[in-house]
Amino acid sequence: MRKLRQLQEVNAGSMADIAFLLLIFFLVTTTMDVDTGISRSLPPPVEDDTQIDIRDRNIFKVLVNSADMLLVEGKEGSLSTLKDETKYFMKNPNNDPNLPEKKLEFIELLGEVWISRGVVSLKNDRGTSYDMYIRVQNELTAAFRELRDELSVDKFGTRFYNLTDDQRKAIQSAVPIAISEAEPEDIGGK
């Protein structure tokens, strides 16, 4: 009897090919890029012109002009030395009266540590290139990162990156990222 023949099976041989095709499409369109960048937090806007008094010795002035040149503490500076200068300023190892004050404070997990009151004041022109600005920010970030690393190696024997959350908080309060950006001002042209 012909009618009782088994149901014809669909040929699934080309299924793999179709799947391959789709797979290749998604492989090509997938972008696995992770967004990276330098994180910063902006200060809240100031309502009135309240001047925050910071002693002059506590401020590390970094100026970038429209020709991408650096002025560090009143002298012409360069990117290659900016990091070390910042670190030296923040640490003030010889208790120089022209460098920032330090305060002995007790922080949990760390004990008594000297906390620098130094603030890096970064000011740029409207004509500064973004590339230069990022490079300066990068050097300043590197300086603070190294300061944190040094302290955590000293206290915990390992880099800041490897610390637990509590230890990180302690280090962060001992070495806060004190980079202040001045209110914008028009100095040069656009």
Partner 1 sequence: MARFRKKKAQGAQRINTASLPDIIFMLLFFFMVTTVMRETTMLVKIKLPEATEIQKLERKSLVSFIYVGEPVRSYLYGTESRIQLNDQFATVADIQEFIAREREARDEVDRKFMTTSIKADQMTRMGVITDIKQELRKSGAFKINYSSRKGAVKQN
Q: Which long-range contacts (CB under 8 A, 24 or more apart) does 62-65 make?
A: 62/120, 62/121, 62/122, 62/123, 62/136, 62/140, 63/123, 63/124, 64/122, 64/123, 64/124, 64/125, 64/128, 64/132, 64/133, 64/136, 65/125, 65/127, 65/128, 65/187, 65/188
Q: Is 11 one of the binding residues for partner 1 (CB under 8 A)? A: no
**Segment contacting partner 1 (CB under 8 A): 2-10, 23-31, 105-113, 164-172?**
23-31
- Specify whether the CB–CB gap between 140 and 124 falls below 8 A: no
Q: 61: helix, coil or strand?
A: strand
CA dist., res. 57 & res. 7, Å (int): 91
At 137, the amino acid letter reads Q
Q: Is 67 one of the binding residues for partner 1 (CB under 8 A)? A: no
Q: Is 87 one of the binding residues for partner 1 (CB under 8 A)? A: no
Q: Is 133 one of the binding residues for partner 1 (CB under 8 A)? A: yes
In the complex, minimum distance from the CB of residue 97 to partner 1, in angstroms, rounded to a whole number:
31
Figure out which of the listed residues 67, 78, 103, 111 binds partner 1, where binding follows CB under 8 A.
78
Tokens 């920032």 label which residue? 100
**Segment contacting partner 1 (CB under 8 A): 52-60, 90-98, 106-114, 123-131?**
123-131
Figure out which of the listed residues 86, 92, 116, 124 binds partner 1, where binding follows CB under 8 A.
124
Pick 26 or 106: Cβ nearer partner 1? 26
Residues that bind partner 1 (CB under 8 A): 12, 15-16, 19-20, 22-23, 26-27, 29-32, 34-45, 78-80, 124-131, 133-135, 137-139, 141-142, 145, 184, 190
